[in-house]
Amino acid sequence: MIFSRKRRDAAAAQTVPSGLACGHPFSLLDRYAPLSRAELRLYETLREAVPIIDAAICKTVRLVGGFQIQCPNPQAQQQLGGFLTHVPVNACGQGVECFLNSYLEQLLTYGTAVGEMVVGNGAFQALYNAPLEDIQLKAGPSPLEIQVQVRQTDGSYLPAPRPELILTSTLSPQPGRLYGESILKGLPFVTDILLKIYHSMGLNWERVGNVRFAVTYRPGNDPSDRAYAKERAESIAREWRKAMQGGTGRVSDFISVGDVDIRVIGADNQVLDSEIPVRQLLEQIVAKLSIPPFLLGLSWSSTERMSSQQADILTSELGSYRRLLNPVICKICSLWLRLNGYPADFEIVWNKINLQDEVELANARLLNARALQLEQQIGETENTAKTP
């Protein structure tokens, strides 16, 4: 295989500072530079840190749906369909849809996806999703060509031996650039603020849940009180500690003589309302991911018409992702047909996204037919009226 997993030496390991201990655990987001090349680990951290981002990508991949291949030759169509259903994928996967799901998820997350068609002994044997950390893209002899280089055991990169077996896709690449742009581009800054809010909320609830008390003893004007103030304060502290360390299911009372004041630390402070800023940040994330909020479990108020419009926008987004996958499917099917002696003549037919689209299309065709019928009736009436 071209993209076989390379063994890495221990000397290649690097130590990365983890940032301040008081920050949230996803410190990589604090060091994000929007003008530098995006790191693979950055987008992995985004999906790990904010579950709603990971859920949006997974739902998008599932909503793209499946497809069928139609060939003029029935025998070729039957054999090709069996191959696409049972082709081995990676180590334990099976079926071309398994390969395309990982391929599309990689494309959405990193902006670039690379796969391999494994051929041996003149037969199409398997499909493989290549990890991006093992490859790099270089410009070819022509600006219209791209060269895929594979990472070697010594850390160097060499061109892939059989580039015709490599599948490469990029998402919205900038002019003159080889790598695509992730759909998560622009979210590190917003996500960093969101995580700071969540981290602060966790610390506040940890303090509130584990209540701290301030016990203050004020000696009176009696000389004996002032003379034994230290001993009485130590006694109060000792008895208070015993009362707080009571066993499970036991309630201890604290009794003291004198002017003793007990207050909860932080009880007078007002906790900031996080509902509005969190919703504003989530709105930015949802707008970037192009997923309707109700699909992500967000119970935001929306009308039926608004939900329908959001579903239409999602349908157009899924259609664009299908168009990105069409060249990959064409290469896979064309290679199998040629290796098995069939002409590369086929058509990709995607499944309908949902039943609502079928209903909308049927209603539109019905309205157009009725309008055409009325126009014909009006035209016949006018012709009859003009006839002497």
pTM here?
0.72
DSSP string, 309-355: HHHHHHHHHHHHHHHHHHHHHHHHHHHHHHHTT--S--EEEEPPS-H
Calpha distance 226→230 (Å, rounded): 8
Q: Roughly what angle, to the nearest 10 degrees, separates helices 275-289 and 51-63?
A: 30
Calpha distance 151→354 (Å, rounded): 42
Which among 240, 262, 289 has a CA at the least distance from the CA of 56? 289
Identify the helix (H) or strand (E) that includes residue 113.
Answer: strand 112-120
Which among 273, 25, 4 has a CA at the least distance from the CA of 150? 4
Calpha distance 138→141 (Å, rounded): 10
Per residue of the chain (388 residues), give pLDDT as tens.
777 665 554 444 344 443 344 566 666 565 554 434 457 888 888 999 999 999 999 999 998 989 999 999 999 999 999 999 999 999 899 999 999 999 999 999 999 999 999 998 889 999 999 998 888 888 888 878 888 888 888 888 888 888 899 999 999 888 888 888 899 988 888 988 898 888 888 877 776 666 677 778 788 777 777 777 778 788 888 877 777 776 555 666 666 767 777 777 666 666 677 888 888 888 889 888 888 887 787 877 655 565 667 777 788 889 899 999 999 999 999 999 999 999 989 999 998 876 455 566 667 778 888 898 888 888 777 777 766 5
